[in-house]
Structures are given as C-alpha cells and as structure tokens.
A and B are shown apart, each in its own frame.
Chain A
Amino acid sequence: MNEFDLRWKLGAEAARRAAAALPEDAPFGFATRVVAHWRAAGAPPLATLWQQFSLRVLGGVALAAALVAAVHLAFAADADSFTPDVAGTVSELFWML
C-alpha cells in the first residue's frame, strides 16, 4: 500500500466514525409526504398512455403494411390482367380530382 492509499484509508476510518453519529430516522412527515406523492402520481398521465399506445399501433400498422405489400408483390408478379384495371382506376381518380 502506497503512502496516499494509507492516508486515504485513515481518512475513510475518520469519516465513518463521523458519519455514524448522524441521525438516520425519517424526519417528521417524510413518510406521509412520500406516500402522498406516490398516490398523486399513481395514474399515468394521458400523454404517456397515448405515447405508449401510439407507438404500439404504429408498429402494428407498419407490420400490416409490410404483409399487404408482400402479398401484393407475390400475386402481382403473375397477374398482368390486373394492370389495366389498376391503371384505369388511377386515371378515373385523377380525372375526378
């Protein structure tokens, strides 16, 4: 053990003796205050709930979109007959706008 470590150890012993004299009981009203805070914060705020659920919904929607795209691509490869119908629908929508 070097000189600093030895002196640090002596300091730690002194600090422990000094700390042992400090009070450790809860101050008057502390437990009541803590429990009141806990009860007040019991229900999560609406914004937090919205954030949690919106993220889950977003994930679900993304998964559904990926599945639909995969199914569409799988069937679209050999379904040329659908092409004129899709093109026709798009052109009709365009003219309606």
Chain B
Amino acid sequence: MPPDALDVPACLDRVRAGDEAAARALVEHLHPLVLRIARAHRPRRVQEDDLAQEIFLKMFTRLDQYRGRDDVPFEHWMARLSVTTCLDALCAEKRRPEWRWADLGDGEREWLEFFAGTEPARPPADESSAREAMEMLLAFLGPEDRLIITLLDLEERPVAEISALTGWGGSRVKVRAFRARQKLRVHALRLRKENKL
C-alpha cells in the first residue's frame, strides 16, 4: 500500500488492537512529517533519526489521548507532539555549543559575513551552507526563541499555525520572533568582529 493511501483512522484502530503491521505502516506514513520537524528543531548533538524514534515511541504510548474528536486530523496532533518533543530535547540540552569563527567552514563563513554585512552584496551561492550557518546562529538562542524562528522564518509557517502547534498566543510569537532576530544580529556581528580582530 503506498504511504499516501493509508486510511489513518482504520490504521489507528488496528494499532490500538496491537497490530504490528499497522504500526509499521503508520510509522512509514508519518515519517516524512516527523523527520522534517526533527531535522529542523533537533539539538545539534542529537541525531535526527534518534529524535524521530523518540517522537514515534511517544506517539505509541499516548495514542489513547488522540480520539479524533473535533475533526482534528491525526497528522496535526502528531505535528504538535513532534514540536513539543523537540522543544523538550532543546530544553534538556545541558549546555548550548559556543561557536567561534575558527569552527566554521568556508561556506558557513561566507553566509555569516553576508548576514552581518551592511554593504550591498549578493547572497553566497552555496545554499547547503546557509542552513548550517543559520543553525549555528540559532544555537546561541534559547529553546523557545529558536523554535519560533525556525517555524516562522525557516519553515515559513503562519503565526496562527505556530500558535496552534505551540499553544502560545500570536502576539507572544511575534514579539519573541522580533527579539530573537535582534539577538541573532548581535551574535552575527560578534562572530564577524571576532574574525576581524
């Protein structure tokens, strides 16, 4: 059965009855959704597959909490569970990594120079390094700030959807995002200054 054709409510009933084949089908169906969220919000020292596995195990243990009421699709419930699990993982990170200019690769340095620059410039061509450079800057933020910037800027999710995923109000999301970008700018300038010393 192709993953997109999965009848989720029927599959959930079978999983609740202990059907392992249905459980595997559910994991394969939801894997792209969970992996996208885990990849975007994982602490840098945690492998994305490990975090995805933790999310799925939590899904199985909390399956009885999802009743399918109010026409909330299971995928929405799962997305919220994934985001809160990632936030817990970020909060559990004992010490956030302190990046220095010397730790960065050439592509990441180009992007950080670009972020901290003020003169007219074109963005660097190496797009795969953009994500790395942004994650390095995001690592300087607290878990909530990091989550909001990732959802809002990197994933381009609307504020209303972020509110639904996190349970935070729209104003709180906007204010936090504004302040978080200011902090990112300060860290980008500090890293650049460190390079010029």
Contacts and interface: CB of A to CB of B under 8 A. Distances in A.
Interface of A: 3-5, 7-12, 14-19, 22, 24-27, 30-35, 37-39, 41
B28 A10 contact: no
B24 A31 contact: yes
A85 to B, nearest CB: 55
Contacts of A31: 23-25, 27-28, 31
Given A4-B184, A39-B20, A11 B49 contact: no
A16 B156 CA distance: 9
A15 B134 contact: yes
Nearest to A37: B57
Contact of A14 (B57, B123, B155, B188): B123
Contacts of B185: 4
Nearest to B63: A38
B116 to A, nearest CB: 8
A71 B115 CA distance: 73
Nearest to A2: B185
